[in-house]
Structure 1
Amino acid sequence: MENLSPLVPITEASHGVVIDLIYAGTNNFTGQVIYDSALCFLHPLADAGLCKAIAAAKSMGFQLKIFDAFRPQEAQEALWAVAPNPAYIADPAKGSNHTRGVALDVTLLAPDGQELDMGTPVDTMSSASHHFHATHPVSIQLNRMKLLTIMLEAGFVHHPNEWWHYQLPDARQFPLIDSHAFMRCKSAQATPA
């Protein structure tokens, strides 16, 4: 039977990644729990790109860590309510590429499991988080370039203001995924086959 789900579940076991969905806890710029569960999903085409990125990272001795992937519309509205800054948060009235399931926030882990130093924590809303911020030392620039290379070769494009954010090209061609479809995906993930 054909899978009609608009989203593919991403797990540590199935994908060999580390998942730390920051909006499922309070360790994010809002200081609030935004997601009611720590389930991670992506559009099937984004999942295919993620699998390529995972393999590329592994070949370089790294592992991917995912901070965010699909984001429900209600969560986008909650983030916008705290920080209505379109340089970093998509206006929910226009739609986020996370809500299309084609964007993800990631970093690289070294072989010892530690995050590579990217110069700022994820979700830092300042020029220091801009991908090519010139005042960072060479080591940080190189770490960001490693992540950029892996993700670009996997078919993603980067967000210039957020070193951690990658999405499929022409992301706006993908429809926003409504809450009903997302709830069906969550239910399917929570109910083992």
Structure 2
Amino acid sequence: DVVIDMMYAREDNFTGKVIYDRTLCFLHPEAEACLRRAVTAARGFGFKLKIFDAFRPHEAQEALWAVLPVPGYVADPAKGSNHTRGVAVDLTLLDAAGNELDMGTPVDTMTPVSHHFYPDLPAVVQLNRMYLLTIMLEAGFVHHPTEWWHYQLPEAKEFELVSSAVFAGFLDAAA
């Protein structure tokens, strides 16, 4: 019911280079519990979730900011990212056959068309975005207004920034 496809472990992302060296997906336990609820809610609509990003090490946030230092689309690493707190997830919906639903733009399209409620989109795209929004809100997440794919825990800034050292044991075991 979940496909993990960490987009920064590949070159085909907005930076044009690999940012992560592993394709593991980590979340804060509270975010993980919400994600489990989202999986169940998506299943109720006949959908699956496809995760593109979750916990993001500080070094990765710095690499993203170096390419696109635009607040509102990329978090300033000096202030911390909700991905670096482990409480944010970037994702989309898949149909029963495993095809991505049309959301109007690819993930990480940093333009107004990627805003949640951009008005000039086909009805099917608006409906698909509303499915994702409904599923994620029901699960306990809140949305980011400029990124249809980004969801995070409410009060995300209250969570501590997480060092990638916390996951060192998992990373070593996966190597």
| 1:31 aligned residue | 16
C-alpha distance in structure 1 between counterparts of 2:140 and 2:94, whole Å: 20
Kept after mapping to 2: 8 A contact 1:72/1:182: no
Secondary structure of 1:107's aligned partner: strand
Q: Which residue of 2 aligns with 1:7?
A: none
Q: 1:158 aligned to 143, 147, 151, which one?
A: 143
**1:93 aligned to which of 78, 81, 85:** 78
Shift of 1:178: 1.2
Q: Does 1:190 align with 2:171?
A: no
Give structure 2 stretches of 5+ with no counterpart.
none
Q: Deviations over 1:64-89 (max 9, x none)?
A: 00000000000000000000001100
Counting matched residue pairs gives: 175
Kindly report structure 1 stretches of 4+ aligned residues shifted beyond 6 Å.
none
Provide the secondary structure at the position in 2 that maps to 1:88.
coil
Distance in 2 of aligned mates of 1:132 and 1:179: 34
2:26 counterpart SS class: strand
Q: Distance in 1 between matches of 2:165 and 2:44?
A: 38
Instruction: Determine which of 99, 106, 117 is the counterpart of 2:102.
Output: 117
Stretch of structure 1 that moved more, 143-152 or 170-179: 170-179
Q: Does 1:149 align with 2:153?
A: no
Q: Give the drift of 1:27.
A: 1.1
TM-score with structure 1 setting the length = 0.88
Deviations 1:103-133 (A, max 9, x none): 0001000111100000000000000000000
Question: Is residue 18–residue 65 contact of structure 1 (8 Å, CA) maintained in 2?
Answer: yes
State whether structure 2 residue 160 is matched by structure 1 residue 175: yes
In the superposition, the TM-score normalised over structure 2's length comes to: 0.97
Match of 2:64 in 1: 79
1:42 alignment partner, SS class: coil
Mapped partners of 1:26, 1:190: distance in 2: 21
Mapped contact 1:66–1:106 kept (Cα < 8 A): yes
Q: State the shift of 1:181 in Å.
A: 1.4
Quote the residue 2:36 is aligned against.
51
- Give 2:96's aligned amino acid: P
Q: Deviations over 1:134-189 (max 9, x none)?
A: 000111000000000000000000000000000000001100001321323423x5
Give the superposition deviation at 1:38: 0.5
1:126 matched residue in structure 2: 111
User: In the alignment, residue 46 of structure 2 is paired with which amino acid?
Assistant: G
Give CA-to-partner distance per residue, 1:28-73, whole Å, 9 cap, x none.
Answer: 0001000011111100000000000000000110000000000000
Is the aligned partner of 1:68 residue 2:53? yes
> Which residue does 1:108 correspond to in 2?
93
What code does the residue aligned with 1:107 have? Answer: T
